[in-house]
Amino acid sequence: MSQVLENKPSYQDLEAENFRLRAEIATLKRLIFGQKRERFIPADTEQMELAGFESAKEAPADTEEITYTRPKRKGKQAKAPSRQPLPAALPRKEIIIEPDEDTAGMKKIGEEVTEELEYEPAKFWVNRYIRPKYARPGDQGIAIGFLPSRPIEKGIPGPGLLSHMLISKYIDHLPLYRQQQQFLRIGVEIPESTLCGWVKRSARLLSPLYERLKDQVLSSDYLQADETPIRVLDPMKSGTTHQGYYWVYYDPIDRAGFFDYQKGRSRAGPNRILQDFKGCLQTDGYKGYDEITRQKTVTGVGCMSHARRYFVEARSADAGRADWMLSEIQKLYATERRSRDENLSFDQRLKLRQEEALPVLEAMKAWLDRESIQVLPKSAPGKAIAYMLSQWSRLTVYVTDGRLEIDNNLVENAIRPVAVGRKNYLFAGSHGGARQAALIYTLMANARLHKIEPFSYLRDVLSRISDYPYKKIDDLLPANWKNISLK
| Mean pLDDT, rounded, for 403-432 | 81
pLDDT on residue 417: 75
Summary mean pLDDT of the chain: 85
pLDDT score of 40 more than 70: no
CA torsion 435-438-444-447 (nearest 10°) is: -110
Question: How sure is the predictor about 59, in pLDDT bands with cuts at 50, 70 and 90?
Answer: very low
Q: Nearest 5°: CA angle at 21, between 18 and 22?
A: 85
If you average pLDDT over residues 393-416, what whole number do you get? Answer: 91
- Reported pTM: 0.80
Segment 325-373, tens digit of pLDDT? 999 999 999 999 999 999 999 999 999 999 999 999 999 999 999 999 9
pLDDT(474) > 50: yes
Phi then psi dihedrals of residue 167, to 5 deg: -70, -40
For residue 418, the model assigns a pLDDT of 76
CA distances from 312 to 305, 309, 322, 385 (A): 10, 5, 7, 12
For residue 45, the model assigns a pLDDT of: 47
Gap between the Cα atoms of 136 and 144, Å rounded: 10
- Maximum average pLDDT range among 87-91, 347-351, 373-377: 347-351
Q: What is the largest CA-CA distance in the chain?
A: 117
HSE (CB half, 13 Å, CA atoms) of 354?
9
- Least confident piece of the model among 143-157, 213-227, 330-344: 143-157
pLDDT-derived band at 19 (thresholds 50, 70, 90) equals low
User: What is the distance between the alpha carbons of residues 197 and 193, in angstroms, rounded to a whole number?
Assistant: 6
Q: Which amino acid is at 225?
A: A
Mean pLDDT highest for which of 27-36, 55-64, 140-149? Answer: 140-149
Q: Check residue 230 and give its pLDDT.
A: 87
Which region among 189-203, 209-223, 312-326, 359-373 has the lowest average model confidence (pLDDT)? 312-326
Beta bridge partners of 295: none
Determine the pLDDT at residue 42. Answer: 65
Look at residue 405 in the predicted model and tell me its pLDDT: 95
3-state secondary structure of 382: helix
Within 13 Å of residue 476, how many CA atoms lie on the same side as its CB?
25
> In the structure, what pLDDT confidence band is assigned to residue 414 with cuts at 50, 70 and 90?
confident
12 near 370, Cβ under 8 Å?
no
Contact 403, 234 (CB under 8 A): no
Residue 400 per-residue DSSP state: G
Burial class of 286 by CB neighbour count within 10 A (0 to 12, 13 to 18, 19+): middle
CA distance 359 to 337: 17
Average pLDDT over residues 384-399: 95
Q: What is the mean pLDDT of residues 262-269?
A: 89
76 pLDDT more than 80: no
| Percent of the chain residues past pLDDT 90, beyond the cut | 53
pLDDT beyond 90 at 306? yes
Burial class, 282, CB count within 10 angstroms (exposed 0-12 / middle 13-18 / buried 19+)? buried
Banded model confidence at residue 37, pLDDT cuts 50, 70, 90: low
Q: How confident is the model at residue 238, as a pLDDT?
A: 72
CB 353 within 8 A of CB 304: no
In 10 A of CB 278, how many CB atoms? 14
Q: What's the mean pLDDT in 93-106?
A: 89
Q: What is the pLDDT of residue 482?
A: 80
Pairing assessment for the beta strands 256-262 and 241-251 based on DSSP bridges: antiparallel
3-state secondary structure of 229: strand
**What is the C-alpha radius of gyration for the chain, rounded to an integer number of angstroms?**
30
Q: Which residue has the higher pLDDT, 4 or 260?
A: 260
Coil vs helix vs strand at 277:
coil
Question: With helix as H, strand as E and coil as C, how does 395-433 read?
Answer: HCHHHHCCCCCCCCHHHHHHHHHHHHHHHHHCCECCHHH
